[in-house]
Chain A
Amino acid sequence: MRRVVITGMGVISPIGNNQIDFFNNLMAGNSGIRKISSNFLNQLSVKIAAEVDFESSAFFQKKQLGFLDRTSQFALAAASQAWKDSGISLSDSEKLRSGVAIGTSMGGASTIEETYTQLYQKNIGRVKPFTVLRAMSNASASHISIEYGLKGPCLSFSVACSSSSVAIGEAYRMIKDGYTDVMVAGGAEALLTYGVMKAWESLGILAVEDKDNPSASCKPFSKDRSGFVLGEGAAIFVMEELNRAIKRNARIYGEMAGYSSTADTYHITKPSLEGQAHTIFSSLESASMIPDDIDYINAHGTATELNDIVETKAIKKVFGDKAYSIPVSSTKSMHGHMMGATGAVELLASVLAIKNQAIPPTANLLLKDPECDLDYVPIKGRTGVKVRAVMSNSFAFGGTNAILIVRNYE
């Protein structure tokens, strides 16, 4: 059986643009959520988001930027980190068996919005020449394949909040099943635009701003939770077949152990207990693992009323009594809900939990909810703990669930 390992990781996030800052901030409970900096602040009812601090001119030349939506900029910047981090180099024939899989929910959202503003609001009957190339949902994946000459599959997955978990899972299967040997996989999202934020606002599931401390507005599993906070960013992994990684003496962060993707077939927004439990169960099955093997769960943990209770019940349904002794945390409390990028960013948090043998907390969990009665690692991260295998949950609007399991490679 072919085994698949992670050998490179990169991140652009509201809490750090490299994996060290990212994990240090998670462990310290530092949130990237704040009042947004945009000029449409006053037109919003919900004025907070998890924005990325990103100076595009530090990464790209002006000429390149004409082609790159903010989403693709994040994707390329994170991919560049992951590529360097992996120390990989590919011969021409190896490139034929290497591919890309990127998740994004809305692709070039800001390009689309700029275009409509130009046409409908400013009545300027012309738009930028590369609007199509910037807006298309596969732009991020394609730019990565061009940058590194990866001539195998170049795919984009758009499955709302599960997008990048699905992308990583499908990339894992491609290597495992022998279609490719190397994959660059992850997710990217940049949708903090006026129109998109208004759209989420009107759904009524965004967190109410914490008056005393806006950065503490997202409170997963806490009785006073009020919803999630939109975020943006990217996380990208270099994944390769184990023997290839061993042969080139690569540093191995962890082994992809399991993946499951299923559909709730229940409701377009409401989560299904049965559906989530099915995904958790089948992901364990795909990893040939039992509940005792999992030492940390990075929850989907959106901090909506419904998600947190259903996810808690689903974990209990599969893990039984063991559920109470597994640390489960929602790092969305700090990096926000990064939509198409969120699964990848949360997998990064999970893999870094293995690397550092440390578990990031759920920030802002101060009020116990009787219906959420697991160990959510409130407020304070834990160091010096044994983390052999981790599970990262993603549950999307539309009912597509995706779970990834990574184990320590020894």
Chain B
Amino acid sequence: MQTLEKIKKILIENFIIEEDALKPEASLESLGMDSLDKIDLLFEIEEKFKIKIEPNDIKGNTLREMVDSIDIVISRQHKEENICIENREE
């Protein structure tokens, strides 16, 4: 849920998209975003969530699918971080 809200905030503030249009089933294209906008958005998401998104990480094209994909990246990378920290502690 937190992920969706954060992404919505980026879309509203950086891409000037109306909040009402940000339905979970809306595709990025339907929100008027082109391929460069998507690159820009993914960069912002990487910055905000402190994650690294690989080319194949994002599955699907709707807002909901994007949020799900990013949640997977977050949990995977945060787990890796924890492992790193644990290793360091040892």
Q: Which residue of A lies closest to B46 (CB)?
A: A126
From residue A143, how far is it (CB to closest CB) to chain B in Å?
A: 14
Residues facing A in B27-59 (CB within 8 A) are 36-37, 39-40, 42-43, 46
Question: Residue B13 contacts which of A62, A66, A128 (CB distance < 8 angstroms)?
Answer: A62
A126–B39 alpha-carbon span in the complex (Å):
13
From residue A362, how far is it (CB to closest CB) to chain B in Å?
A: 46
Interface residues of A (CB under 8 A from B): 61-63, 66-67, 126, 128-130
- A128 near B43 with CB under 8 A, answer yes
From residue B49, how far is it (CB to closest CB) to chain A in Å?
A: 14
A–B pairs, 9, beta carbons within 8 Å? A61-B16, A63-B14, A63-B15, A67-B36, A128-B43, A129-B40, A129-B42, A130-B36, A130-B39
- A63 near B16 with CB under 8 A, answer yes
Instruction: Provide the residues of chain A in CB contact with B36, threshold 8 Å.
Output: 67, 130
From residue A180, how far is it (CB to closest CB) to chain B in Å?
A: 29
From residue A392, how far is it (CB to closest CB) to chain B in Å?
A: 39
Given A63-B37, A63-B40, A130-B40, output 18 extra A-B contacts at Cβ < 8 Å. A61-B16, A62-B13, A62-B14, A62-B16, A63-B14, A63-B15, A63-B16, A66-B14, A66-B40, A67-B36, A126-B46, A128-B43, A129-B39, A129-B40, A129-B42, A129-B43, A130-B36, A130-B39
Interface residues of B (CB under 8 A from A): 13-16, 36-37, 39-40, 42-43, 46
Instruction: Provide the residues of chain B in CB contact with A62, threshold 8 Å.
Output: 13-14, 16
Q: Which residue of A lies closest to B17 (CB)?
A: A63
A67–B39 alpha-carbon span in the complex (Å):
12
From residue A119, how far is it (CB to closest CB) to chain B in Å?
A: 15
Instruction: Provide the residues of chain B in CB contact with A129, threshold 8 Å.
Output: 39-40, 42-43
Instruction: Provide the residues of chain B in CB contact with A67, threshold 8 Å.
Output: 36
Q: Which 8 A-B pairs have the closest CB atoms?
A: A129-B43, A129-B39, A62-B14, A63-B15, A66-B40, A63-B14, A61-B16, A129-B40
From residue A146, how far is it (CB to closest CB) to chain B in Å?
A: 13
From residue B50, how far is it (CB to closest CB) to chain A in Å?
A: 12
A129–B53 alpha-carbon span in the complex (Å):
13
A128–B36 alpha-carbon span in the complex (Å):
12
A129–B39 alpha-carbon span in the complex (Å):
7
Instruction: Provide the residues of chain A in CB contact with B13, threshold 8 Å.
Output: 62
**Most chain B beta carbons < 10 A, residue from A61, A62, A63:** A63
Q: Which residue of B lies closest to A65 (CB)?
A: B14
Instruction: Provide the residues of chain A in CB contact with B42, threshold 8 Å.
Output: 129
A61–B16 alpha-carbon span in the complex (Å):
8
